């Protein structure tokens, strides 16, 4: 089908700065940004709050969550002043809560379930029905938009990713140890890469950006170059 919108998929490991890059691309081209990880986090928060998921036993009440998913609404609110994005779960701004350790520790387990993935993938595709967008996640170039105009796969060393996540959480006032963050980063990589449903992997036609030693500006420059080569789009 002919489209005159542009879809940019940004996939990669956790804490590689996918969302920073995706947001910068969105601003550069004045297009929409969707954080698909936030949607998995919102479902995880919902399941934890309703006690549908027991993180200690890794037990999910599939039947009740399946029913609930038909009803719950996940959307994004963008502050026009600072372009900051907030996730809304049934209209409630849960942006802060979904970033907390409790959610981070369960989100990969919740993201393994096919019925949850299918529901969220439908919602993700709906965002692209009319508008150009950049979406970051784990399966955007492989499953959600296999026909995306541009696919970027982000990577960085585990050491650097741990440090970034740690600094980010500390900066937000959370009390965590470096070790705890390292374990969370490694565990999530492992679960994301080895799950049966849509595992994290690079699409054959994705271009890798290793930003271990790139500044924010340098990674945007690289991405813009990739986008221009793939689409011929030069306007910012």
- The whole-angstrom separation of Cα 79 and Cα 81 is 5
CB within 8 A of 75, min separation 6: which ones? 87, 88
Among 40, 13, 47, CA closest to 187? 13
Question: What part of residues 86-105 is at the interface with ligand DC (CB under 6 A)?
Answer: none
Interface with ligand DC, residue 164, by CB under 6 A: no
User: In whole angstroms, how close is the CB of 234 to ligand DC at the nearest point?
Assistant: 29
Per the CB < 8 A criterion, the answer to whether 152 and 13 are in contact is no
Pairwise CA distance, residues 72 & 145, whole Å: 23
x/- string (CB under 6 A) for ligand DC, residues 26-65?
----------xx--xx------------------------
Shortest Å, Cβ 136 to ligand DC: 7
Q: Which of residues 206-235 bind ligand DC (CB under 6 A)?
A: none
CB of 76 to ligand DC, least distance (A): 13
Residue 173: strand, helix, or coil: coil
Shorter beta-carbon distance to ligand DC: residue 111 or 162: 111
Q: Interface with ligand DC includes 14 (CB under 6 A)? A: yes
Give 61 or 100: the residue with its C-beta nearer to ligand DC.
100
Cβ atoms of 105 and 184 within 8 Å: the answer is: yes
161 touching ligand DC, by CB under 6 A = no
Written as one string, the DSSP assignment of 77-133 is EE-TTT--EEEEETTEE-TTGGGSHHHHHHHHHHTT-HHHHHHHHHHHHHHTTTS-E
Binding flag, residue 108, ligand DC (CB under 6 A): yes
Does position 106 bind ligand DC by CB under 6 A? no
Rule CB under 6 A: which residues touch ligand DC?
14, 36-37, 40-41, 107-108, 111, 137-140, 188, 192
């Amino acid at each position: 089908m002919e489209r005159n919108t542009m879809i940019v998929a940004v996939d990669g490991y956790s804490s590689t700065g996918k969302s920073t890059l995706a947001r910068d691309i969105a601003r550069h081209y004045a297009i929409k940004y969707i954080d698909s990880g936030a949607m998995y986090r919102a479902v995880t928060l919902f399941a934890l709050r309703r006690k549908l998921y027991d993180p200690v036993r890794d037990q999910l009440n599939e039947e009740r969550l399946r029913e609930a998913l038909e009803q719950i609404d996940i959307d994004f609110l963008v502050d026009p002043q600072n372009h900051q994005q907030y996730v809304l779960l049934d209209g409630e701004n849960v942006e802060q809560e979904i970033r907390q350790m409790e959610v981070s520790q369960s989100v990969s387990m919740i993201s393994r379930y096919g019925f949850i993935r299918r529901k969220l993938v439908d919602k993700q595709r709906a965002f692209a029905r009319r508008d150009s967008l950049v979406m970051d996640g784990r399966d955007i170039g492989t499953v959600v938009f296999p026909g995306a105009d541009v696919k970027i796969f982000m990577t960085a060393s585990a050491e650097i990713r741990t440090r970034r996540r740690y600094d980010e959480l500390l900066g937000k006032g959370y009390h965590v140890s470096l070790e705890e963050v390292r374990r969370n980063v490694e565990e999530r990589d492992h679960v994301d890469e080895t799950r049966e449903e849509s595992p994290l992997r690079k699409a054959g036609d994705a271009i890798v950006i290793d930003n271990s030693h790139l500044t924010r500006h340098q990674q945007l420059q690289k991405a813009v170059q990739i986008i221009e080569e793939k689409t011929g789009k030069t306007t910012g």
